Structure 1
C-alpha cells in the first residue's frame, strides 16, 4: 500500500495535479498563451503574478502584448475561428456578454465561487451571462476627478469640490491667462470629449448620480430627464461656463494626461491609471495633486464608473484547468492585494482588500516605483475605497455597438452641433435599432 501511495504521488507531481481538472483528461502543458491589453511594462501586477504562478507550477505563461486599438479584432478572430493557440485573454467588460452568447468562452463559475461573493455589490454583472460567469475582474480602474492641491489651497479650500457648484466656482477661479497674452493657459476642468469610452463613462457617471440608467439589460433609457441633465452639465462646462477648453471636444486620454502632467488644468476627469505617472521628475504637478469622486450634480448621490480588462478563457483552449488555476491565482483576494500594491492606480473591486495591512502600509519599493510618500499613498487609496463602494455598472448585449452609437451623439452635443435633447433623441433611436438585431 505504501509503495502504491508513493507511485501515485510521483505521478501527480509529473503530470501536475489541478483542482479544476476533476473529471478531465488534460496533459500538463509546457506553456500557455495569454493576450495582454498593451505592454507588460505598463502592467507590472499581472507580469509579476504570471511569472510567480509559472515558477510554482512549472508552466511558462507566454504573453502576446497586443495594442489595445487592435485588441478586439485580434481576440475576435481567435475566438470565432476556434483557434486553440491562445488560452487566456485580457478582454474588455463590454465584450463578455456577446462572446459568451456566441459560445466562445469557457464558463468560470468554479473559479469565481469564492471570489464573486467578495465583490462590491453589482460589480459582477458584466461578467455574467445566462446565469454563469465568463470573466473574472483583474486589472480595474475607476473614474475620478484629479485636482491640483496647490491651487485648491490658494483658492482657500482644504477639501476637494464635492458638489458640481463647488467645482464650477473653483474652476472659474482657476481658469486664467497666466502670462498676459490674452490666451488661457490654465483651465478649470479638462475631460475627454471625443467619441470614445473615456468621455462616455464621464457622462454615464453623472447619469448614475441622478439615479438614471443608459441601457441596462438592453432597456434603452438614455433620453431621460437624468440623461439630459447630466449631458447638459458637462456640455455647459465648455459652452456656457467657459471653464473647459474649446478643443475639449477633440480630447482623448492622452490630452487629459498631458493637461495633468503639464499643470494646465486645475481638475481633470479621468481614470486612476494616470496617477502612477504624475510624480515623475518631468511632471509639473509632482507632489501637488490628489483625486476624489466626481463632484455630484444637484439632487444626485456619489457614483463612480469602472473599466476593467477581465480575464476570459478561450473555449477552444486545450489546457482549461490550468488556465482556470492561473485566472483564480490572479483575480483572487490574494492576487488583487498584490495587484493594488504593485500596480498603483489599479483598483480591486473587493473592498476588503483595502483593509489589508500591506495595502495601508506598502513596502518602500512600491512607494518608490511611483515616487510617492506614504501619506499621499494613504490618501489616494482611501479615495479609491470610496469609489469602489459606489461603483455602478450596466450590462447589455451588443454593448460596444450601443456605446458607439451614443458616443457620437454625446460628442455632437459637446461640440454644439446638436442640442442635448436632439443628440439624446437621435442616440436612443439608433440604440433601439441596434437592439432589434438581438
Structure 2
C-alpha cells in the first residue's frame, strides 16, 4: 500500500513538473550541415535547458530562401513561432504590421541594462517607429580586401586609409599587362550597384540615403555628398579603373585571388569562398578608406525577435538574453559567426581570429540599410539610380533627384 502510494505521488509530481515546462519554438535558417547548427543543437540549447529546467526550446530549421514565404503564410494564418532569427532587413516590415514584440517596452529594465552592450550599427536594425523590436544576434559587414602582391608589384607598400589614397591606388593598379591595348588588371571590382555595394561609398563620402528617423529622402539621398560619391564612382568606372559589373566574366573573389582585381569590398564569407578554390591564396583585410564621413560600411546579419503572439514572453526573453550573452556569442565565434557585442576585440577567440578583428572594428562605424518596412522598394530605386548614372549616362544629380522623388512618394504612406 505504501509503495503504491509512493509511486502515485511520484507520478503526480512528475506530471505537475511536466505541466510547468513551457515550450518555446525557435525558427532559424542555420544550415543543418553548418558548424553553427551543430553548436546550437548539441551545446547551446542543451545548456540553456539545463539552466532553465522549466523551458524547452524546440528549434525549427527553415532554409533562408523559404523563410520569407513561411512568414507570409504564418501572417495569413496568424501562427508564428515564439522566437526567430530574422534577417535584419525584415524586422521593420514585420514590426510595422504589428506581429513583433517591442522588447524595450515589454522588458524596459532588462533592455536598458543590455542595450549599450551591443554594437550600435547592428542594434539600430531593430529600431522602428520609436521602439526596438529585437536585438542583434549575429552580424557582418564589408571591409577592403587588398592584394598585397599586386600592390608591391606596383610600388605600393600598404592599403589606402583614406579616399584620396584609395582613388589614386585604384588608378595605379589598373593596367594593360600584356600590351594589347586592353585593360586586363583593375584596381577595384564589385558585384553590383545596389546599396549593399554603394553604401560604403555614399556614407564614407558623408552622404546618406534617408534622414536619421528614416522618414525623409529629399536632401539626403541627393545631398552634395551623396552626389559626389556617385560621380566619383561613375568617373572611375567609365574611365576603366573599376572592372565591368555584370559582364559575365570571372567572379569578383575569384578575380581577386587570381590577381586580376587588386581591391574589392567583401564580407567574412570571402575567406571560405576564396580558400575553397585557392587554398594558397593570401587574403589581406583593411578598413574601408575614410572620406569626409569617416570609414563607413554597411551592416548585414540577423536579429533575434519575439512574436507578440507568444504565450511565453518571459521565457522567450530569457532565451534571447542567453543567445546574446558574451559566453554564447564567443562560442558562436569559434564556428565563424561574428558577435554583436562591444568590447570583444581583446578576447582570445576574437583576437587570434584571422579576420574578425578588422570586421569588428569596421562594425563600430558601419551603417545599417535603412530599417524601414519599404526597404526592398527603396533598395531597388537606389540600384536603378546608380545603374542609370554609371552605365546609362544619366547625370548623377538628376539620377539621385529622381530617386529622392520616388522614395518620398513611398515614405508618404508611412507618415
State the TM-score, normalized to the length of structure 1. 0.78
Name the structure 2 match of 1:388: 363
Unaligned runs of 5+ in 2: 1-8, 51-55
* 1:128-139 alignment, distance < 5 Å: 128-139=127-138
Name the structure 2 match of 1:329: 322
Separation in structure 1 between the aligned mates of residue 59 and residue 77 of structure 2, nearest angstrom: 21
1:415 deviation in Å? 1.5
Separation in structure 2 between the aligned mates of residue 322 and residue 52 of structure 1, nearest angstrom: 19
Unaligned runs of 5+ in 1: 1-5, 17-25, 363-376
1:52 deviation in Å? 1.8
Is the contact between residue 128 and residue 371 of structure 2 (CA under 8 Å) also seen in structure 1? no
Separation in structure 1 between the aligned mates of residue 247 and residue 70 of structure 2, nearest angstrom: 27
Name the structure 2 match of 1:98: 93
Separation in structure 1 between the aligned mates of residue 26 and residue 45 of structure 2, nearest angstrom: 12
Is 1:311 aligned to 2:304, yes or no? Answer: yes
Separation in structure 2 between the aligned mates of residue 403 and residue 311 of structure 1, nearest angstrom: 23
* 1:242-321 alignment, distance < 5 Å: 242-246=240-244, 248-249=245-246, 255-280=251-276, 282-283=277-278, 286-297=280-291, 299-321=292-314
Is the contact between residue 293 and residue 387 of structure 1 (CA under 8 Å) also seen in structure 2? yes
Is 1:235 aligned to 2:234, yes or no? Answer: yes
Is the contact between residue 252 and residue 261 of structure 2 (CA under 8 Å) also seen in structure 1? no
Is the contact between residue 190 and residue 243 of structure 2 (CA under 8 Å) also seen in structure 1? no
1:324 deviation in Å? 3.1
1:125 deviation in Å? 2.3
1:127 deviation in Å? 0.8
* 1:20-419 alignment, distance < 5 Å: 27-29=21-23, 32-36=25-29, 39-41=31-33, 44-45=35-36, 47-56=38-47, 57=49, 59=56, 61-68=58-65, 70-84=66-80, 86-109=81-104, 110=107, 112-121=111-120, 123-179=122-178, 182-194=181-193, 199-216=194-211, 217-220=214-217, 221-240=220-239, 242-246=240-244, 248-249=245-246, 255-280=251-276, 282-283=277-278, 286-297=280-291, 299-343=292-336, 346-361=337-352, 377=354, 380-393=355-368, 394-419=370-395
Alignment CA distance shift 1:350-1:67 (3 Å): closer
Separation in structure 1 between the aligned mates of residue 304 and residue 331 of structure 2, nearest angstrom: 16
Is the contact between residue 187 and residue 243 of structure 1 (CA under 8 Å) also seen in structure 2? yes
Separation in structure 2 between the aligned mates of residue 91 and residue 232 of structure 1, nearest angstrom: 35
Alignment CA distance shift 1:184-1:159 (3 Å): same
Is the contact between residue 95 and residue 400 of structure 1 (CA under 8 Å) also seen in structure 2? no
State the TM-score, normalized to the length of structure 2. 0.82
Alignment CA distance shift 1:180-1:322 (3 Å): farther
Is the contact between residue 305 and residue 391 of structure 1 (CA under 8 Å) also seen in structure 2? yes
Is the contact between residue 175 and residue 186 of structure 2 (CA under 8 Å) also seen in structure 1? yes
SS in 2 for 1:355: coil
SS in 1 for 2:290: coil
1:231 deviation in Å? 1.1
Is the contact between residue 207 and residue 293 of structure 2 (CA under 8 Å) also seen in structure 1? no
1:182 deviation in Å? 5.0
Separation in structure 2 between the aligned mates of residue 201 and residue 143 of structure 1, nearest angstrom: 9
Name the structure 1 match of 2:5: none
Separation in structure 2 between the aligned mates of residue 155 and residue 115 of structure 1, nearest angstrom: 48
1:249 deviation in Å? 4.9
SS in 2 for 1:436: helix
Deviations 1:316-354 (A, max 9, x none): 3455444433332222222222233321xx433323122
Structure with max Cα Rg: 2
